[in-house]
A and B are shown apart, each in its own frame.
Chain A
C-alpha cells in the first residue's frame, strides 16, 4: 500500500517557479492496477518519478507499507520502473538486462539464472535471451523492459507511458499482456498514460490529474459515467454539456429543469449541491433520437455521421446548444431521420450527471 500525503513539487529554475504537483494525496492499494491519467504537463509523470525517487518532493510524505520512502535513494526503494524509452542497456544482451537488478541485489548466481529464465518465459522471449537489445523489435524491447523491472519482484511496478511508442495493433496486444502480467505476479502497478481508452480498459482505479492536482479518483465506470467536474467529463470520452437549473438534491439523485422547460431526474454530485444554475453532462450514447412530442429536448438535426459501429446525430437544440447523440448500428437499419428534420432528444431517467463546476 502506497500512501501519498499532500505531496507538492515546485520546480524553481531560471523562470517563474512551476508547481508540478499541488498537495496531491492518494492511497494506492495492494495488487491494484492504478492509473494516473491526464494531459501532458498535468504532473502524472512527476508523481511517478517522486515514487521512484528521481524527484524529491518539495513537501509532503510518501510511505510504502508504512516505510517512509522520501529519505531513501532510488536504489534502496523496493520499486521498479518501466521507462517510456525502455532504457535497455545497449551493451548487454536481453538476458543480462533482465539479470541486472538481481545482480545488484547480490542474489546467488543460481537464483539469478532461474529468475531470468522464468521472466523470459513470462514475457515469451526465451528464444531471444542471447540477442543484443538493438537486434530486437520495439514490441520485444518493451517486453524485455517489463521483464527487467519485474525480475527483482518489486512491491510496486511503475510504468511511464510504456505503450506510447508502439503501433496500434501491438498496443492492443500489450494492454492485455500487461493486465495478464499484473494478475499473474500480483504486483501493484502504477501506470501513467494520457490515453483515456488505455486507462479505461486496463485499470482497477483511475486518478484523473490536471494542473498538478488529482481531480477525481474512481473505477473506470465511475469516472466515465459519473465525472465529478467539467474537466474530467471533457477529458474522458465525449460529453454534451447543458446549462440547467438545479431544483433539488436528494441523496445521489437530483431534479433539474432543462432549457426546454422539461424536468429530468439525474445524478447529483457526491457532496451534494445548492440549487441554482449548474452544468449537466450527458454522454452521447446515453440519449437517443425520437419523436419531438414527449421528448425532453428538441432541435434541428444538422448532420448525420456514419462511423461503422455507430452513427452520430448532431442536433442544434432550440436554445442554441449543440448536442451529439450516438446510436449503435444494426444491420440493414432503415434511415428514420434525415438532415434538417426536427427531432426529439430522449434522456432516460437517471442519465446525466450534475457537475461540481
Chain B
C-alpha cells in the first residue's frame, strides 16, 4: 500500500460514521425537541411551549426527588473523592507494597462486578442493619453511592498524581517540609484539578444511578432517575423529557468543566 492505511478512504466509512452518529444522537435530539411539545404526547408535535418544564418545576415529587438526588450526589461525591485521594496517594506514592495489585483491584471493584450483584448484596446487607438499628434514613443511599463512585473519582486523581514530577515532593522534603507539609504545600495545590475532575465525575455518576438506588432506597426515597422510571410505568408525558433534558444540561456543563480542568496547567 503506497499511500498507507487511511481509514477515511475506506469504502462505507462515511455511511457507518453517519449511522453511528444517528443512533447515538438522534434519540437525544428527539428527547430534547419533544420536551418543548405543547401537547401531552411524546410522539406527536403540537407546537412549542415551556409547559412541561413548568409542570416539572411545580411538581412536589419532582422537587423532592431532585433535592434528594443532589444531596446524595454531593455527599457521595465528597466521600468518594476523599477516599479516592487517599487511595491514589497510597497507590502512587508508597512504591510497590505487598498486596498492591489486590488493593488496586479492590478500589476498582465497582467497575468490574455487575451492578445488579452489588445492588442485591447491598439490599440484603442494609436490610440486616435496618432491622438491627431501626435507622432508615438517606445514609444507606449515600454510603452505597459513595462506594461505587470511588473508582470514578480515583481515576483522574491517580492520573494527575502519576503525571506529577516526583522531584517536587522530594525538593520540599529536602527543604525541611514534613510529610504533611509536603502534601499541604506542594502536592495538594497541584492536585486540585484532578480532585475537582474526580469529584465532578463522581457527582454525575451518582446523579445518574438507577439500579443500586432502586434496590437500596426505602419507601419515599425516590431520586430523580428512580422517580422517572416509576412515572414511565404509568402515563408518559413530555414532563419526563423535560426532566431528562435538565439532567442532560447539568451533565454537559460538568463534562465541559471537567474537560477544561483536566486540560489547563498541563
Binding site for B on A (CB under 8 A): 52-54, 73-76, 79-81, 83, 85, 87-91, 100-101, 104-105, 148-149, 152
CA distance A104 to B165 in the complex (A): 21
B128 at the interface (CB under 8 A from A): no
Closest partner residue, chain A, to B192 (CB atom) = A91
Q: Tell me which residues from 164 to 211 in chain B have a Cβ below 8 Å from any Cβ of chain A.
A: 165, 167-168, 170-178, 181, 185-186, 189-190
Interface size on B, residues (CB 8 A): 17
14 additional contacts, CB 8 Å, given A53-B174, A89-B171?
Answer: A73-B173, A75-B173, A75-B177, A76-B176, A79-B174, A80-B175, A81-B171, A85-B167, A88-B171, A89-B186, A104-B178, A104-B181, A105-B176, A152-B175
Is the Cβ of A87 less than 8 Å from the Cβ of B165?
Answer: yes
Cross-chain pairs A/B with CB under 8 angstroms, 19 sampled: A53-B174, A54-B173, A74-B170, A75-B174, A75-B178, A80-B174, A81-B170, A81-B174, A85-B165, A87-B171, A89-B168, A89-B171, A89-B172, A89-B186, A100-B175, A100-B177, A104-B177, A149-B175, A152-B176
Using a CB–CB cutoff of 8 Å, the interface residues on chain B facing chain A are 165, 167-168, 170-178, 181, 185-186, 189-190
User: Do A100 and B167 touch across chains, with their CB atoms under 8 A apart?
Assistant: no
Given contacts A89-B186, A90-B190, A91-B190, contact A101 B170 (CB under 8 A): no
Residues in B with CB closer than 8 Å to A100 are 172, 175, 177, 185
Query: Helix, strand, loop or mixed for chain B's interface?
Result: helix
Tell me whether A83 and B170 are in contact (CB under 8 A).
yes
Contact pick for B176, options A88, A89, A91, A101, CB 8 Å: A101
The residues of A that contact B170 with a CB separation of less than 8 Å are 54, 74, 81, 83, 87
Given contacts A54-B170, A83-B167, A87-B167, contact A75 B190 (CB under 8 A): no
Query: Roughly how many angstroms separate A60 CA and B167 CA in the complex, as a whole number?
Result: 26
B165 to chain A: which residues have CB within 8 Å? 85, 87
B169: nearest chain-A partner, CB-CB: A87
| Interchain nearest-CB distance for B35 vs A (Å) | 44
Contacts of B185 in A (CB 8 A): 100
Closest residue to A96 on the B side, CB-wise? Answer: B185
**Distance to closest chain A CB from B96 (angstroms):** 9
Chain B positions within 8 Å of A81 at CB level: 170-171, 174
User: Would you give the shortest CB distance from B47 to chain A, in whole angstroms?
Assistant: 54
Measured CB to CB, the closest approach of chain B to A47, in angstroms, equals 16
Contact partners of B189 in chain A: CB under 8 A: 91
The answer to whether B168 and A87 touch across the interface, beta carbons within 8 angstroms, is yes
